Amino acid sequence: MSPRTPQTNSASAEIDLAVDKSPVSDPHPGADPILAQLDRLIGSGACIPFLIAIGTLILIIGLGSYPIYTKGEPREAIRVFDIIHGGGWILPTQPGIDLPWKPPMMYWLGALVSIVAGRVNEWTVRLPNGMLAVGAILLCYHYVRRLFDARTAILSALILATTIQFQQAGTAARIDMTLTFFMELAFFEFLLMAEGLTRRRMLFYFALTAATLSKGPIGAALPVLAALIWIATQGNWGLIRELKVVKGCSLIALVGGGWYLAATAAGGMAFVRVQILEENLYRLIPTHAYREPHAHSFYYMVLALIGGFLPWSIILPFGARYFIRGRAWLDRRLSYLIIWLATVFVFYTLPQSKRGIYLLELYPALAAMTGLALSAFIAEPQTVRSWIGVVTRGCAWFVIAAGVLGLVGCLMVRLMGAPAIYDLFARFGVMAPAFVPSLKAELRARAFSSVMIMAALIACGHWMRRGPATPGKFAIGWFGAACCVILASHLVIVPAIANALSLKRFTYEAMRMVDNSTVANVGSLNYDVLFYGRRDIPSALAADATDYDYVICPEDMLRLAPGLTQDFIIAMRSNPTEIDGTAPMLLLKRIVQPEPTPMIAERTPAAIAAAASGAAQSSAGEA
């Protein structure tokens, strides 16, 4: 029986998840033929180089080829710029810009890369997260192999690498991938210690400290909470004495707590309000003094998890059925993965403020569980005959259709006239004027790559469709299709959107026009302008706008503050910053009123005669 196959005994009916030290030949004559290919890959020792190559291909390449365009990414990128340009390493900020909302780990990493590169740009602020994403893939492989087996490890790592949410976080300058990397290290390292597979202790606390410096106390709280729940369910309270808790907590307090003290000294009550109260306490304890951002219903996180874990969400019901029938919660290691997943999910579901990216911290656990199920299905395909054929062939036709539509779309964009393409995209709410030219330019620059990617996508679907449907064929074909879609997105679609919506060109031209004059931001703060402006742009109220020569503001400010139209004229209008063609930015120039000049009396002949007569009468009177 395969190490990942459910088996029962009279005592516990546990799933036998033996720790694998090396791949073994499958004893079942009817095993999936992909199993032999996996064993060959594992036996060659090429798994880690293979994962690094895959991670580099779908996460690192092209990171600096398109500008920053989202709302959240430049808010983090400006902190890296601030560190490099004298804003400080403890609480990086510049005059006129609000205090950082997050701890500085991501900013520090971005600053170090920027120092090495000699500049701050899109590539240097995104690269740390791309490298940490590749590291998270390798961590998943390493720990799952130590805790379960090598086949499950490679499958789990590939699943994690190709999920939508992981891809988004790994290619953007946001804190979520930095946090997830260190929390993944902490979660897995605890289980390794608890199972007696390592004598290390301080790596766990180092990971907790780094996670705290990535997003705050939550980085340490969730792994500790999951550990305590697991210890309670196992009844192994004696484990706590072996974990060097005092020494570890001292490290967290000294480094993590030390930064909070230094930041409080630097930022005062403004820092306490923003970072400690609004970003942490008020998210857990609602108050009328703070309006929850990203408020959603309780079921939002379920939909976010299903969408974010695509394309692998499609097999989650079958994996859940496999574990439920095998009573997975009775196995120590698998029960820990379940607790890890449930702890993170429940914690982020309870507050009113919800975002799908928050769940990224549970993705390594879910990927490992999906890998366990998929590995068992591949080892014993006869156990999944009831559904694997339908799923594999359905996905195969979906992939083929996606590839064909991609090729047709490429030809249409290249050959059709602009008005027809505008009308086509407008039906789907895509009305940013610069998007079609940007998409044409990207397809022209990468015509061969685009065709090859679509052809590879069709080939993956055709391979999945041919011959008998097996779990291995589904897994490899689905993974290959996911890589094709990711590459198409990174090389063509995302750059086209970014170039259409980014304020990079507008900001460069606006700063050239402003030159040495004074300029301020009025209205909602746009971090795109701050990052690309490369100068201090303080925020000002509309009532104080006349203190500056130029003002940058959203177009809506002319409606909200009509007084601006009396004192300023529109010098420049940006491209839309939303894909539906809305929300442009404006550069306003103050109207300079002419200086009043003294009135000079008109010198007409009559006036001259009257003046002479008056002077003569005055002289006669004096005589």
Kindly report, residue by residue over 592-606, the tens digit of the pLDDT: 766 665 555 445 555
User: What is residue 22's predicted lDDT score, i.e. its pLDDT?
Assistant: 41
Write down the pLDDT at residue 614: 54
Q: Looking at per-residue confidence, does 157 or 296 come out higher?
A: 157
The total number of structural domains that make up the chain: 3
Which tokens in the block code for residue 595?
A: 């200086």
Residues 514 and 485 in one domain: no
Could you tell me if 327 and 13 are in contact, meaning their C-beta atoms sit under 8 angstroms apart?
Answer: yes
Query: What is the CB neighbour count within 10 angstroms for residue 170?
Result: 28
Which residue type is seen at 25? S
pLDDT at 405: 95
pLDDT digits (tens, 9 = 90+) for 24-82: 444 445 578 888 888 888 888 899 999 999 999 999 998 999 999 988 899 899 999 99
Name the pLDDT band for 423 (thresholds 50, 70, 90).
confident
Does 468 share its domain with 528? no
Q: Which of 489, 510, 401 is nearest to 170 (CA)?
A: 489
Residue 20, domain member (yes or no): no
- What was the pLDDT predicted at 19? 40
| Dist CA 298 CA 186 (whole Å) | 28
The band of 617, judged by pLDDT with boundaries at 50, 70 and 90, is low
Which pair of structure tokens corresponds to residue 384?
A: 């999944």
- According to the model, what pLDDT value does residue 71 have? 85
Q: Is residue 269 domain-shared with residue 181, that is, in the same domain?
A: yes
* Phi and psi at residue 336, to the nearest 5°: -65, -40
Residue 577 is part of a domain; what is its CATH number? 3.40.190
Cα(507)–Cα(524) distance, integer angstroms: 16
Tell me the pTM. Answer: 0.88
Q: For residue range 326-364, list pLDDT tens digits in order.
A: 787 788 999 999 999 999 999 999 877 788 899 999 999
Q: How many other β-carbons are positioned within 10 Å of the β-carbon of residue 284?
A: 11
Phi-psi region of 457 (alpha: psi -120 to 50; beta: other; left: phi over 0): alpha
List, edge to edge, every strand of the sheet that includes 568-573.
Answer: 539-540, 519-522, 550-554, 585-590, 568-573
Considering the domain boundaries, does residue 598 fall inside one? no
In terms of residue numbers, what domain contains 421? 388-501
Range with lowest mean pLDDT among 69-73, 296-300, 420-424 = 296-300
Tell whether 151 is covered by a domain. Answer: yes
Question: Do the domain assignments include residue 614?
Answer: no
**501, 524, 557 — which closes off a domain?**
501
Boundary-marking domain end, from 324, 349, 379:
379
pLDDT-derived band of residue 494, with 50, 70 and 90 as boundaries?
very high
Q: Buried b / exposed e across 18-28, counting CB within 10 Å, b at 16+?
A: eebeebeebee
Least confident of 158-162, 281-285, 443-447, 456-460: 281-285
Note whether 576 and 502 are within 8 A (CB): no
**The two structure tokens encoding residue 339:** 């607790």
Does 1 reside within a domain? Answer: no
Please report the pLDDT score of residue 204 as a whole number: 97
Q: Is residue 5 part of a domain?
A: no
Q: State the pLDDT at residue 499.
A: 95
pLDDT in tens, 193-233: 999 999 999 999 999 999 999 999 999 999 999 999 999 99
Q: What is the DSSP string of 227-242?
A: HHHHHHHHT-GGGGGG
| Domain-located, residue 309 | yes
Q: Is 177 found in the same domain as 293?
A: yes
pLDDT in tens, 260-272: 999 888 888 877 8
pLDDT digits (tens, 9 = 90+) for 312-326: 999 999 999 999 887
**Residue that terminates a domain, selected from 501, 525, 549:** 501
pLDDT digits (tens, 9 = 90+) for 95-115: 556 777 789 999 999 999 999
Do 164 and 239 belong together in one domain?
yes
Q: Is the pLDDT of residue 522 over 70?
A: yes
Nearest to 363 by CA among 133, 150, 151: 133
State the average pLDDT over residues 407-435.
Answer: 87
The mean-pLDDT minimum among 369-378, 449-458, 576-585, 596-605 falls in: 596-605
Distances in Å between the Cα of 532 and the Cα atoms of 43, 65, 75, 99, 156 are 49, 15, 12, 19, 39
Q: Are 418 and 496 contained in the same domain?
A: yes
Q: Whole-angstrom Cα distance, residue 337 to residue 351?
A: 23
Up-side HSE of residue 429: CA atoms within 13 Å toward CB?
A: 4
176-210 in b/e burial notation, b at 16+ Cβ within 10 A?
Answer: bbbbbbbbbbbbbbbbbbbeeeeeebeebbbbbbb
445 and 508 belong to one structural domain: no
Q: Is residue 407 domain-shared with residue 471, that is, in the same domain?
A: yes
Q: What pLDDT was estimated at residue 25?
A: 42
Q: For the CA atoms of the chain, what is the radius of gyration?
A: 31
User: For 412-430, what is the mean pLDDT?
Assistant: 85
Give me the pLDDT at residue 620, please.
Answer: 46
pLDDT of 513 reads: 95
- Could you tell me which residue, 617 or 337, shows the higher pLDDT? 337
| Domain identity same for 584 and 462 | no
Report which residue type is found at 241: R
Q: What is the mean pLDDT of the chain?
A: 86
Residues 316, 399, single domain; the answer is: no
Instruction: State whether 127 and 212 are in the same domain.
Output: yes
| Residues 6 or more apart in contact with residue 23 via CB below 8 angstroms | 38, 39, 42, 43, 149, 150, 151
> 40-54, 408-422, 441-455: which has the minimum mean pLDDT?
408-422
The more confidently predicted of residues 329 and 576 is 576
Whether 238 and 351 share a structural domain: yes
Q: Is residue 619 part of a domain?
A: no
pLDDT of the residue at 23: 43
The answer to whether 394 and 206 have CB atoms below 8 angstroms apart is no
pLDDT > 70 in the chain, percent: 87
Can you give the pLDDT at residue 285? 65
